[in-house]
Copies of this chain bind each other. A is one copy, B any other.
Amino acid sequence: MQRRPSAHVHEASHDAPPHALGADPDQDTAAVIGTLLERYLAQRREEAARSSEQFAQDVIDVLIDVVLRGGKRTRPAFLWWGWRGCGGESRGTNAEAVLKVATALELLQACAVIHDDLMDGSPSRRGAPAAHVAFADRHRAAGLRGDPDDFGAYAAVLAGDLALVWAHDLFESAGLDAKARRAAAPAWQAMRTEIIAGQYLDLYGQSTGVDSPEESLRVAYLKSGLYTVERPLHLGAAIAGAGPDLIASLRRAGRSAGVAFQLRNDLVGVFGSDGSGEPSGDDIKDGASTYLTAIALQRARAHSRHEAERQLRDAIGNRDLAPEDLRRVRDLLTRLGAADAVETRIEQLTADALTVLEQAGLQAPARERLPALVRRIVEKRPAG
């Protein structure tokens, strides 16, 4: 087997046999997760096609598209490095069970993404049509009866449900031993409710226009930070049998890093990132209550900049915002110092996460890899 050059070749892998998962998870967690997703989805598709080929070729194939197109596998990576940092091994039966649990996180994420895109009316995701749009397109192309958009929305609800169900099936069948399963259960259980609570608070915030910076940080934490970093680390550590102090450290680091991650996403959504073209400004249009806009409104009020406040309030929640209006909003956010304030907050949160990780006494190579992963998700580019 030819080994690809890599800056992160784990020592133990030098004379080990080719990894059954297609790659060494320490070297390329994302590739391993991708392989496991492909295998799992193919197996479930085959089973389901036995009761309905129509269901398989419609709902399951759209779900598979969403999942396999899926990005950086950030959540599984945190789970993996939580496990490794608390003494979990890089290969063998337990490692494979942990990787399957990590893979289940991507299916939870698929449900969140599919239902979220539907709620936000987002037409696309990672350069392809969002699930509800893909379903509507298929309806149109087949010339079916009824409203294509309604069909698309309902089929997307079901595709998300399916991802949720399969996430759980995969967690169940991952092969954790009884002790690991018991240790993981509380985090797994809490996380799945939290994701839904976070999505609801996001939706609710769009309906109320809550604009306290502290409340918007809480929503950022619940809607994305918690299940992107803290709970994956928690799960990995719990499965590895970590004690309460180590788990508490990882959760604290995860909390800070997770909120920083969401603040970065908020910035990227409004200001874009190098080479990514014009940003969508979807949060502004949807009226999402982000820390960025909350800080801007707070500052406008504090300095009696009534015209700036009025312009911001008019823009937030205006679905028909034109590109030039969005540029004006960006100027305002910059001039009010809100963008800088968010950058500063990201730096503080990241520094906190890194300090806690440094003092946590993690095992190598997670001692280096976990901080690197935190830096990657908060740096100035679209993260996901």
- Chain A, residues 305-330, CB within 8 Å of chain B (1/0): the string is 00000000000010000000000000
Is B144 touching A52 in the complex (CB atoms < 8 A)? no
Is B146 touching A207 in the complex (CB atoms < 8 A)? yes
- Chain A, residues 210-253, CB within 8 Å of chain B (1/0): the string is 00000000000010000000000000000000000000000000
CA distance A194 to B52 in the complex (A): 9
With A55-B200, A178-B178 known as contacts, the answer to whether A207 contacts B160 (CB < 8 A) is no
Q: Which of A124-171 contact B (CB under 8 A)?
A: 139, 144-146, 151, 153-155, 157-158, 160-162, 164-166, 168-169
Binds B, one of A11-19, A20-28, A30-38, A111-119: A111-119
CA distance A194 to B166 in the complex (A): 12
A153 to chain B, nearest CB (A): 8
| B residues in contact with A58, CB < 8 Å | 200, 204
With A119-B157, A169-B189, A185-B172 known as contacts, the answer to whether A151 contacts B203 (CB < 8 A) is yes
**Which of A's residues lie within 8 Å of B, judged by CB?**
44, 47-48, 51-52, 54-55, 58-59, 111, 115, 118-119, 139, 144-146, 151, 153-155, 157-158, 160-162, 164-166, 168-169, 172-173, 178, 185, 189-190, 192-194, 196-197, 199-201, 203-204, 206-209, 222, 287, 317
CA distance A164 to B196 in the complex (A): 11
Q: Within the oligomer, what is the number of copies of this chain?
A: 2
